[in-house]
């Protein structure tokens, strides 16, 4: 299956999207925060990113979803900055742009990273936390395509997306991988200063489903196109998880591919007792039962033995 951005490039639509996206940087209204800073003048708002995208690291990643990893890994690009800044973020220094590895990249440098990952054998290009750098990604794409980029693009985001920005990505992103973090407004306020998160997330998931549909895999079991939703279980969060699963099954699709994640631990500003603790196996099992009861049936499963064999063979 040909990646969608190739036809969008051939048709001339990509150049129009690049121009439209750039306009969203002054005043910045890329995400629901709509800070209004002039990022074309390198001003920085909530996401702490100016004119250029900043990259902390990149490379083949074997800890992502099984349908992205394959035998050679998902080609992840970890962007610095974030429009959510969750208190418990496991990449706290990166999201706050305090990590010394955060470095600005221009369009050609970002394109070169994409092509390098493809040449390393990665099955896809996985943009991690890309919401605040959509214009920069789009501007880099023509350079990458002319240099031979062909693999699918993965938009790996927090789910706090503005529809205007998402529509700029139609026909460009192959695989959307948003989080569905919080169902209650209070949770959005408490963890991300975003009480509007639940409604914004629901609208964003509906838009991405409209664009790409249910996740489809090739004969090797690798994702080629579609929507994959992540939900990070939180301490005391089973009721919210169950509500999210019902929404996915009833409002998005019963065929929605879901990764129920149990890796929460108190990081960043999170601290016991309120945000402390980890997720037990019993809680994960209960969440899976709730998802199945809601009508979902497609779940990501990590084959740890296979993962270890792949890592040892490298």
For the chain, list the domains and their CATH numbers.
4-313 (3.20.20.70)
The radius of gyration computed from the CA coordinates of the chain, to the nearest angstrom, equals 19
Amino acid 276: pLDDT: 64
E-assigned strand segments in 250-301: 257-261, 298-299
Single pTM value for the model? 0.95
Q: Residue 57 in contact with residue 174, Cβ under 8 Å?
A: no
Residue 231 three-state SS: strand
Q: Residue 296 in contact with residue 255, Cβ under 8 Å?
A: no
Q: Nearest-CA neighbor of 5 among 117, 146, 116?
A: 146
Q: Nearest-CA neighbor of 110 among 56, 55, 163, 36?
A: 55
User: 171 preceded by cis ω (within 30°)?
Assistant: no
Give the helix ranges, DSSP H, for the chain: 4-10, 13-23, 66-69, 92-95, 107-119, 134-146, 163-167, 185-192, 197-212, 238-247, 281-294, 304-313
Q: Residues 6 or more apart from 66 whose CB is under 8 A from it?
A: 221, 300, 301, 302, 303
Amino acid 226: pLDDT: 98
The tokens 């200063």 sit on which residue? 193
Please list the pLDDT of the chain residue by residue as tens digits (314 residues): 899 999 999 999 999 999 999 999 999 999 999 999 999 999 999 999 999 999 999 999 999 999 999 999 999 999 999 999 999 999 999 999 999 999 999 999 999 999 999 999 999 999 999 999 999 999 999 999 999 999 999 999 999 999 999 999 999 999 999 999 999 999 999 999 999 999 999 999 999 999 999 999 999 999 999 999 999 999 999 999 999 999 999 999 999 999 999 999 888 888 655 566 889 999 999 999 999 999 999 999 864 444 444 444 44
Q: Residue 295 in contact with residue 249, Cβ under 8 Å?
A: yes
Q: How many CB atoms lie within 10 A of CB 63?
A: 12
Amino acid 307: pLDDT: 42
Residue 2 three-state SS: coil
Amino acid 71: pLDDT: 95
Q: Residue 47 in contact with residue 162, Cβ under 8 Å?
A: no
Amino acid 255: pLDDT: 98
Amino acid 277: pLDDT: 80
């Amino acid at each position: 299956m040909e990646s969608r951005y190739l036809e969008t490039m051939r048709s001339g639509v990509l150049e129009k999207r690049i121009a439209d996206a750039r306009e969203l940087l002054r005043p910045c209204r890329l995400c629901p925060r709509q800070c209004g800073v002039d990022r074309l003048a390198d001003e920085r708002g909530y996401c702490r990113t100016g004119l250029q995208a900043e990259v902390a690291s990149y490379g083949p990643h074997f800890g992502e979803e099984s349908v992205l990893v394959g035998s050679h890994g998902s080609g992840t690009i970890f962007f610095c900055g974030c429009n959510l800044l969750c208190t418990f973020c496991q990449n706290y220094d990166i999201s706050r742009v305090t990590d010394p590895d955060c470095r600005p990249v221009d369009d050609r440098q970002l394109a070169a990273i994409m092509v390098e990952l493809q040449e390393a054998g990665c099955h896809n290009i996985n943009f991690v936390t890309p919401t605040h750098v959509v214009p920069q990604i789009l501007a880099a794409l023509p350079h990458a395509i002319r240099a031979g980029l062909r693999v699918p693009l993965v938009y790996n985001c927090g789910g706090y997306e503005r529809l205007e920005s998402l529509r700029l990505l139609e026909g460009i992103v192959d695989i959307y991988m948003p989080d569905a973090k919080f169902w209650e407004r209070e949770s959005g306020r408490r963890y991300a200063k975003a009480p509007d998160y639940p409604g914004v997330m629901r609208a964003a998931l509906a838009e991405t489903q409209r664009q790409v549909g249910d996740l489809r895999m090739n004969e090797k079991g690798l994702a080629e196109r579609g929507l994959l939703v992540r939900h990070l279980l939180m301490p005391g969060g089973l009721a919210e998880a169950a509500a999210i699963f019902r929404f996915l099954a009833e409002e998005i699709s019963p065929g929605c591919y879901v990764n129920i994640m149990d890796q929460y631990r108190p990081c960043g500003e999170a601290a016991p007792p309120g945000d402390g603790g980890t997720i037990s196996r019993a809680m994960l099992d209960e969440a899976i039962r709730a998802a199945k009861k809601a009508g979902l049936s497609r779940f990501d499963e990590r084959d740890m033995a296979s993962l270890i064999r792949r890592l040892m063979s490298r």
